[in-house]
């Protein structure tokens, strides 16, 4: 019997009410995508380091790939920390040569930290938005990268830093030098500001733009030749917006509208560190700092299961669900200690990563996380990619590939609905569609003691054996709508229904 025959003959009223919902979500590449984040300078080692030294003029410093970033001193002449101008030599051409790794992981989206010309390795201090940093490549390299990704069925998202520029930006220099400059009112100057200009987070190296000036927003996103729109025409598929809350609701809405006008279906995902449901709408999705905090605190035992589940339930209830599916869920990135440093217990790390990949949204894999890279606070978490750890038996690589594969084979994890389970000492939820074969039940014990608990299932179709898709061998047998769960400290199960038994018995033969 075909799937169409089954849905026609065996769908119940609830199935019929949900018909088409999941197909529409699957048609939107932004919903439930797996994102792989790369800091280009630190990803692919150059073939000839010495041949690249001329690209890094003093006070920039070029390091060997096996060196670890360390915190430096403040360089007064350039108003930067020395570790901000330490480089490792990666570029866009080298990244293109390593796309097989990203594709083999199963990523749907490649997200790059800022690549425009800047004074620093991190690129959050733009000199020229429209030009690529010469040590990384060119605009043509961006288009080639986008073409390569599209040929693999993947998308490209860039980091848009539109709240502020760097002090070396020619527009800022002209405005600073001449009160009569046409760019003077692109910035707010005054003696009350450290460094003489309003700057982001009082960092003198990052003068803020005045978006209330239409010339600024025309340059950034409104005009056809603006920064946002021109990169979308070059093949880029979306923007991750740095410190999006600093731009505010109105300007984020304008930017998103301009991006969608240039490329329908493009993505704007904004960095908002607060409790953020109201930012969905002006944005397509969030870089979800709030959920990252919940997962890390839960894994470290600072939130109980019951408390964390109440918080999670409220986050998803208060937000528009379609936007949450487009939001990015991360547990570490370029601004945080890597997960092994933030959560020292390996079992607790595993629990956090499993929840990251099974809760609604788009999980972000920060380069090197898939092989267990470590690194503390800035700049340690931005170390060069450890290709030497990329071995078939690396347990973190095995787990990452398994979790991503589960998202591919169980569409409920990508685009399914969310229902919470009534639990006490466990985290429990179900991801579901209108088809029982898609269902996934997740149960996690974040505590330091073993837990045995009776859990009420909320899906009336789940009447038969549930097996752990993570390979533990665990099998749960629902009895009268409940399952008895035994989980070791920091244990987690990702349960799926067994739809056929040896010998041909099909327990769901007349259930969609």
Supply the residues annotated as catalytic.
242, 271
**Strand arrangement of the beta sheet that strand 427-432 belongs to:** 417-420, 427-432, 440-444, 492-497, 466-468, 475-476
Per DSSP, the three-state class of 420 is strand
Per DSSP, 479 falls in state: B
Distance CA 361, CA 31 (A): 7
| Terminal Cα distance for the chain, rounded | 11
| Contact yes or no for 328/285 (Cβ under 8 A) | yes
Residue-by-residue DSSP string for 26-63: HT-TTTT--EEEE-GGGTS--S-SGGGGGGS-TT-EE-
Distance CA 503, CA 95 (A): 49
Measuring CA to CA, which residue among 470, 428, 422, 431 is closest to residue 445? Answer: 428
Whether the ω angle into residue 175 lies within 30 degrees of 0, i.e. cis, is no
Distance CA 246, CA 327 (A): 18
Strands 86-87 and 109-112, sheet pairing: unpaired
Distance CA 315, CA 331 (A): 17
Q: Which residue has the tokens 């490549």?
A: 137
- List the beta bridge partners of residue 238: 157, 267
- Maximum CA extent, the chain: 85
| Contact yes or no for 357/403 (Cβ under 8 A) | yes
Contacts of 334 (CB under 8 A, 6+ apart): 37, 39, 113, 122, 366, 381, 382
């Amino acid at each position: 019997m075909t799937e169409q025959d089954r849905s026609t003959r065996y769908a119940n009223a609830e199935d019929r009410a949900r018909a088409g919902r999941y197909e529409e979500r699957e048609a939107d590449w932004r919903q439930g995508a797996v994102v792989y984040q790369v800091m280009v300078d630190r990803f692919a080692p150059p073939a000839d380091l010495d041949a690249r030294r001329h690209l890094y003029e003093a006070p920039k410093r070029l390091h060997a790939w096996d060196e670890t970033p360390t915190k430096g001193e403040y360089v007064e002449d350039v108003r930067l920390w020395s570790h901000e101008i330490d480089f490792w030599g990666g570029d866009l051409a080298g990244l293109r040569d390593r796309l097989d790794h990203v594709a083999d992981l199963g990523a749907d989206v490649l997200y790059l930290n800022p690549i425009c010309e800047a004074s620093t390795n991190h690129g959050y201090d733009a000199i020229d938005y429209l030009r690529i940093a010469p040590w990384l490549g060119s605009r043509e390299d961006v288009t080639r990268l986008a073409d390569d990704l599209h040929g693999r069925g993947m998308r490209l998202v860039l980091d848009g830093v539109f709240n502020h520029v760097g002090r070396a930006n020619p527009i800022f220099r002209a405005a600073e030098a001449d009160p009569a400059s046409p760019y003077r009112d692109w910035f707010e100057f005054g003696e009350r500001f450290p460094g003489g200009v309003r700057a982001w987070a009082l960092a003198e190296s990052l003068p803020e733009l005045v978006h209330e000036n239409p010339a600024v927003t025309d340059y950034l996103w409104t005009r056809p030749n603006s920064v946002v729109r021109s990169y979308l025409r070059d093949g880029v598929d979306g923007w991750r917006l740095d410190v999006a809350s600093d731009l505010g609701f109105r300007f984020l809405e304008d930017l998103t509208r301009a991006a969608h006008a240039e490329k329908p279906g493009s993505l704007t995902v904004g960095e908002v560190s607060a409790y953020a449901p109201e930012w969905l709408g002006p944005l397509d999705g969030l870089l979800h700092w709030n959920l990252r905090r919940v997962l890390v605190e839960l894994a470290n035992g600072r939130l109980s299961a019951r408390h964390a589940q109440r918080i999670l339930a409220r986050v998803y209830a208060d937000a528009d669900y379609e936007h949450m599916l487009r939001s990015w869920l991360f547990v570490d990135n370029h601004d945080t200690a890597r997960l092994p440093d933030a959560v020292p217990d390996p079992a607790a790390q595993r629990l956090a990563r499993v929840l990251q990949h099974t809760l609604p949204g788009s999980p972000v894999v920060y380069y090197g996380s898939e092989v267990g890279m470590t690194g503390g606070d800035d700049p340690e978490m931005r170390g060069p990619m450890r290709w030497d750890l990329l071995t078939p038996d690396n347990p973190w690589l095995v787990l990452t590939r398994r979790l991503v594969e589960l998202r591919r084979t169980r569409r409920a994890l990508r685009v399914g609905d969310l229902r919470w389970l009534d639990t006490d000492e466990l985290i429990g939820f179900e991801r579901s569609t209108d088809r029982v074969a898609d269902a996934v039940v997740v149960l996690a014990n974040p505590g330091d003691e073993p837990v045995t608990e009776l859990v009420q299932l909320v899906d009336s179709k789940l009447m038969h054996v549930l097996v752990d898709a993570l390979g533990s061998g665990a099998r749960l047998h629902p009895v009268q709508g409940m399952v008895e769960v035994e989980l070791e400290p920091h244990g987690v199960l990702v349960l799926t229904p067994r739809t056929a038994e040896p010998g041909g018995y099909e327990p769901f033969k007349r259930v969609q």
